[in-house]
Each structure stands twice: as structure tokens, then as C-alpha cells.
Amino acid sequence: MILKVCGITSAPDALAAIEAGATAIGFNFYSRSPRYIAPERAAGIQTPGVRRVGVFVNESPERIEEIARIAGLDIAQLHGDELPGRYPRTIGVWKAARVGTGFTFAPYDDVPAEALLLDGPAAELYGGSGMTFDWQLAARSRKRIIVAGGLDAGNVALAIQLANPWGVDACSRIESAPGIKDHQKMIDFLLAAKAALAA
């Protein structure tokens, strides 16, 4: 299962996440995000043995591929209005979808993505809002699902129980400030997720 910590901006935060059991680390390359990190800086953060995921919003496939080369990414996580014909071709894709009123999986049935990342409703915000959604919806998809949005140590076990996801992803609720992880909250989240999987 994917245990992802997103919005990493420093080597100490990345190391603490990996030591606590994270299997994926997320870097946000959306320039309007408070967790934005320059590709060259992300390249200098070592993440041995885990997937390196880049968060993008309405970026051209050519620019995504360029950043992926610079930052050593394994996955492009697309949070914008990207159509399948404009997905990058030299890197794997996780497509993010915001789950709001009337959400349906139909628009994502044929997207060429390794996984679908379900996030909470965010109005016009991109890249995550820290809001949860009805996790039972995730269990209805035939695709690999990563549950994101408002997860922390207090609710990740329930999310795993209800959604039976391929992965979970936490960011804002395990921070002391945007882009600065609270190591104890991060560790607690990862331990709770691992305990739920082992139950």
C-alpha cells in the first residue's frame, strides 16, 4: 500500500517520513501553493527507497517531463483540468479528482493513470484543501484509489476501513505550518495507517 506524505520542502521532513514508514514523498510544483518547491531544491532532497511524486496543476506535459528529470520523479500527480491526451508520456501518472456533491467516477473510467487520487471538495482551490469526503465512495471504483484530504492519525484507520484504498496521502493536518511537517503528527499518522493495514 502507498503511504504518502505530501508537501515536503526539507530534507529533515523527508527523512523523518521515510523512517516512520512512508513509501511515497510528494513535492508540490504548483507555483501558487504555499508548499511550492523549486525542482532544483527537490532534487537535493534524498528519498532512498520510496516513490518521488510531483504535484502539478495544468502544467504542459513537456514541462512536467522536464521537472521530472530535474527532480528525479517517479510519478506526476495531476491536480488540474488535464485531459488524457495532455498527460506526460515519460512518467507514470496519478490523476487527482475532487469529490464533491454529485461526484461520479465516469469521467475517469478511461484515464491512462496508475491510480486515481480522491481529494475533498476544494471549490476553486487546486492541490488539496485538507477537507475529507465520504470515503465509502472510494470502495466503488474499479481503479486503484489513493485517499487524500484531511487525513491524520485520528481518522486514517477509518478511511482505510471504509475505502479499502491502494494508498493514503496526508499533508496539511500533519503540519505545524504550510510546508513544515510536525514530525510527531506525521509519525503518528504513518503508525496509525500501518496499524490499520495490519489489523
Spatial neighbors of 135 by CB under 8 A, at least 6 apart, are: 147, 158, 159, 162, 163
Collect all residues with Cβ–Cβ distance below 8 Å to 179 and sequence separation of at least 6. Answer: 7, 9, 34, 35, 36, 37
Give the separation between CA 188 and CA 199, rounded to whole angstroms: 16
Task: Please confirm, yes or no, whether 171 is among the known catalytic residues.
Answer: no
CA distances from 34 to 87, 91, 100, 119, 173 (A): 24, 25, 23, 18, 14
**Is-contact 145 115, C-beta < 8 A?**
yes
Among candidate residues 74, 81, 109, 119, the one labeled active-site is: 119
Cell of 143: 481503479
Cα(7)–Cα(30) distance, rounded to whole angstroms? 11
Active site residues: 6, 119
